[in-house]
Amino acid sequence: MANPVNVAIAGATGAVGVEMLLTLEKRNFPVKNLKLLASARSVGKTFKFHGETVAVEEMTEDSFKGVDIALFSAGASISKQFRAAVTAAGAVMIDNSSAFRMEDDVPLVVPEVNAADVFLHKGVIANPNCTTAIMCAPVWPLHQAKGLRRMVVSTYQAASGGGQKAMNELMEQTRAILEGKPAEVKVMAQQIAFNLFPHIDVFQPNGYTKEEMKMVNETRKIMHLPNVKISCTSVRVPVMRAHSESINLEFENEITPEEAREILAKAPGVQLRDDPENKIYPMPMEATGMYDVLVGRIRQDISRDDKRGLDIFISGDQLLKGAALNAVQIAEVLVNGK
C-alpha cells in the first residue's frame, strides 16, 4: 500500500467532483487529509468520506499548501486561474478540463494506454475528454495487436456530458412534455427530451465541432499516433449518463471478430457484451455506474474486400471512466510509482 497523501478536490460539489469523492472512497485511495474546494456559494455544504464529515471550503490561492494531489473539475478557466498556485505549493494538478490537454509539456493520460506518461509531468497532468477516454480502453489493445490506421466514430453522448444543469434539463423537459407542456431550452443547444442533435460544443472552420476535434487530437496524443486518421460525429442523446460510440476501425493487419473478442476479453478496463442472439450488447443503462467500458456488436466491416476492417459498439460511464475514475486512476499511478 502506498503512503497516504493529502488530496484536494477542486469543484467538489459538481457532478464530476462528487464522483471523484465517491471513487476515492470506493477504491480505498490512500488519503491522509482531504480538502473539498468550491466557490464561495458552496461553503458550508458537507460530504461524508469514510464515515467522517468533510465541509466544503472556498477555493483560494492558499488552498493548496500541504496538498500532494489536486483533482480539478471546476472548468477550464478555473484550472488556468489556479495552476500556478497548485504547482507553487508543490502539488500535482490532475485536471479534468480542456485547459491543458494539448500543451506539449502536459501529459494526457488514459492509464490503460499510456500510464508511463504520468511521470513526464511538470506539475500538471490532463484527463482526456470523456468520449476519448472511453474509446481508448477497447481500441488500444486492438491497435497493439493489429496496428490502427483509421477510425470513424459516431458518439451518442448523454446529458451528463453537459453537467448537472444539462441532466436537470433533460428531466425537466421530459416531465413537461409528458404533462402536455412546452419544453424549455435553457442549457443545451436544442431540446433534448425525445430528441437528439449533432451539436456538442462550438463549430470549427472545418465543419467539425470542437468536441469532435478533441477526439481526433487527443487520441493521437494519448496513443502516440500523430498520423492516425480519425473522423468523428458527436451527437447528444436523451440519456441521463453513460456515453456510447459506434466505431469503424481499419488496421494494418487483418483481424477477425473472433480475434478481437479474444484480445478484448483480456484487456484491462473492458468487459465484453457481445451476444446479439440473446440481446446482449453494450447499453448506457447497464454501463451507468460501472468502471469498465462495455464493448460488443463486434463484426467484420463488410464494405471492405479484405479483413482489415472491424465495427464495434461501446458504452461507458461518462462521469466515471470519462472523468472521475480516470482522474483517480492517474492519481493511483502517481502514488504507486507505476
| Tens-digit pLDDT profile for residues 252-286 | 999 999 999 999 999 999 999 999 999 999 999 99
Given 130, 136, 143, 232, the catalytic residue: 130
**136-150 pLDDT per residue, tens:** 999 999 999 999 999
Average pLDDT, the chain: 97
Specify the 3-state DSSP secondary structure of 146: helix
* Secondary structure E strands in the chain: 5-10, 31-38, 46-49, 52-58, 69-72, 92-95, 124-126, 148-157, 229-236, 243-251, 270-272, 293-300, 309-316
Q: Grid coordinates in use for 317?
A: 460511464
What pLDDT is attached to residue 164?
Answer: 86
Residue with cell 486492438: 142
- Residue 292: pLDDT above 70? yes
- Residue 103: pLDDT above 80? yes
Given 121, 143, 232, 243, the catalytic residue: 243
Per-position b or e across 225-239, b if 16+ CB within 10 A of its CB:
beebebebbbbbbeb
Strands 293-300 and 148-157: unpaired
pLDDT band at 336 (very low <50, low <70, confident <90, very high): very high
CATH, range 5-129+323-336: 3.40.50.720
Average pLDDT over residues 99-114: 97
* Count of beta carbons in the 10 Å neighbourhood of residue 160: 26
pLDDT band at 1 (very low <50, low <70, confident <90, very high): low
Answer for the pair 187, 165: CB distance below 8 angstroms, yes or no: yes
**Side-chain half-sphere of 51: how many Cα atoms within 13 Å?**
1
User: What are the Cα distances from residue 103, in Å, to 107, 109, 129, 330?
Assistant: 8, 13, 14, 18
What pLDDT is attached to residue 338?
Answer: 80
Residue with cell 470542437: 210
- Position 242, amino acid: A
- Residue 2: pLDDT above 90? no
**What is the domain partition of the chain in residue ranges?**
5-129+323-336, 132-318
**295-318 pLDDT per residue, tens:** 999 999 999 999 999 999 999 999
User: What are the Cα distances from residue 215, in Å, to 94, 207, 208, 254, 278?
Assistant: 19, 15, 11, 25, 32
Q: Is 232 a catalytic residue?
A: no
Specify the 3-state DSSP secondary structure of 203: strand
Q: Is 136 a catalytic residue?
A: no
Candidates 3.30.70.270, 3.40.50.300, 3.90.78.10, 3.30.360.10; correct CATH number of 132-318? 3.30.360.10
pLDDT band at 170 (very low <50, low <70, confident <90, very high): very high
Q: How far apart are CA 247 and CA 311, in angstroms?
A: 6
Q: Grid coordinates in use for 318?
A: 461518462
